[in-house]
Structure 1
């Protein structure tokens, strides 16, 4: 898959089969649209194109509201889309100027003159242009003038999946990573760099790698303990993760830590991907480090039992 970070990098195609959206999570509903996109491109001898936006349009249109967190970073999204067989991914900066395009300007300047659409696939509720005034009627009205075809994914086809990015975000913020995985079709993960911590974990027999996630817009699941896998340097390890403020030691900041089983190497500065498999328990304050150590041993046993059951 070829990736373009601006329209200026993209060379207009002779037979583009395109769809447009933020596709946060690239969940089952999104995958139905993308599957149809690739099928249509193949059957018509065209090339599949996805136009997506970064940052998320809501962060530009409503800049005062920065509470929205994304299921995927832009790099994670690109990796998933590549795995689905998409030919071209255009990641355009969503700006005020872009949001102020009229439906007619959007269709002619972006879809026709820049991308070169011959077929366009849209969801049943697709809106575009200034104040989201553009819709299916506008696309159909211009289709004869610009010689392209429209295919709309019916509402019942999308709703039959009974999934949305909002539902996935809610599940993750509740700690229900298993439900989120059911919606997504894959296990949720975070990617980050290992940084130095205060090394309290190693004093009680549970050393942890502290993970720094650079993308502040990335959604982090609810505080608690999770069964996870950790991938680094093309190796995968089992472990248990902790998210929280470490109330037992009166912590002041929210940490993301992982105890990697059967592992004792120094990995400061390493990039790792942590995949969430099962929520084990909520974060609680213990009477001291000894009580915490006893609970962590139980957590490790529960994590190992999960891996044994799922193997």
Structure 2
């Protein structure tokens, strides 16, 4: 994944520097899909018009995973992926603040005065009409508007239609990925679903079959992994793009006991252990299945590769 210099990132609100003023939005921005992008574009446009800095304030871990520990929270984007996507909107600053129960106890007044006003020096905030904040989420958009009048910043509401579109999009993206539907996910994201991670040592079974694979460890444990099966993917490594075919599953043919993510790159022979890869899911080829022999598995892999190569050949130039 290329390094993009425009976006400045901070791992704590305390690290944010003094500025002449900011236009800010806050939220989880998980996946940074088309609905989110509309909000980010509003932030950048407003900041340019007002001659101010644009800021996105988000949190890690996801607040729901801290406050609702009984339900696992799987993310559409890790921090690095989120940063990469947010910078595309021309945002100046991304603040990823640690979220914990202590932070959740901050009162609405303290959040506005100590963080929004004193730390970020906000002149405008763009926020959802249904956004609630402060201890026990007791404050709403009307309270924020009142604070804006008191401290001299504008409050712009994101419409109900836009907020609903964001919620619906996130839900549909998750359901699509759980069903292996890369096309629907891409339609709502505005880009292919991405999975980043580090190449780790596997059992090297692919080498014995003539199809060496890179075994990927996802960038974070909470990352949503699509449905088991075989996919056509585009892979970025060292700022270069490669075509490939990916298998997600438990490798039933060889009595696998754990889920793995293994990608075979076409026309590629380099050793890339410990390297960072970024995969784009383009289309689903087939379900995971158990074969009677390694020869049968090898024959199917040959067919998978042929299908994947045909997919790339048929893409518009």
Give the one of 2, 8, 24 matched to 1:2.
Answer: 8
5 Å matches for 1:119-268? 119-159=124-164, 163-268=168-273
Tell me whether 1:62 sits opposite 2:68 in the alignment.
yes
- 2:113 aligns with 108
Check whether the contact 2:236–2:279 (CA below 8 A) recurs between aligned residues: yes
SS in 2 for 1:137: helix
Separation (CA, whole Å) in 1 of partners of 2:236 and 2:147: 48
Check whether the contact 2:129–2:160 (CA below 8 A) recurs between aligned residues: yes
- 1:98 aligns with 103
Deviation per residue, 1:133-166 (Å, 9 max, x gap): 2111101111111011111121124446784322
Separation (CA, whole Å) in 1 of partners of 2:275 and 2:21: 43
What is the root-mean-square deviation of aligned Cα atoms in Å?
1.5
Count of residues in correspondence between the two structures: 310
SS in 1 for 2:314: helix
Tell me whether 1:276 sits opposite 2:281 in the alignment.
yes
SS in 2 for 1:190: strand
Separation (CA, whole Å) in 1 of partners of 2:228 and 2:310: 21
TM-score, length of structure 2 as denominator length: 0.93
Separation (CA, whole Å) in 2 of partners of 1:298 and 1:61: 47
Separation (CA, whole Å) in 2 of partners of 1:218 and 1:239: 21
Q: CA distance change for structure 1 residues 310 and 87 in 2, over 3 Å: closer, same or farther? A: same
Separation (CA, whole Å) in 2 of partners of 1:136 and 1:80: 27
Which consecutive unaligned segments of at least 5 residues does structure 2 have? 1-6
Check whether the contact 1:28–1:163 (CA below 8 A) recurs between aligned residues: no
SS in 2 for 1:310: coil
Give the one of 2, 20, 38 matched to 2:26.
Answer: 20
Q: CA distance change for structure 1 residues 161 and 106 in 2, over 3 Å: closer, same or farther? A: closer
Check whether the contact 1:7–1:92 (CA below 8 A) recurs between aligned residues: yes
SS in 1 for 2:183: helix
Check whether the contact 1:25–1:72 (CA below 8 A) recurs between aligned residues: yes
Check whether the contact 1:53–1:93 (CA below 8 A) recurs between aligned residues: yes
Separation (CA, whole Å) in 1 of partners of 2:185 and 2:295: 34
Check whether the contact 1:195–1:211 (CA below 8 A) recurs between aligned residues: yes
Tell me whether 1:79 sits opposite 2:84 in the alignment.
yes
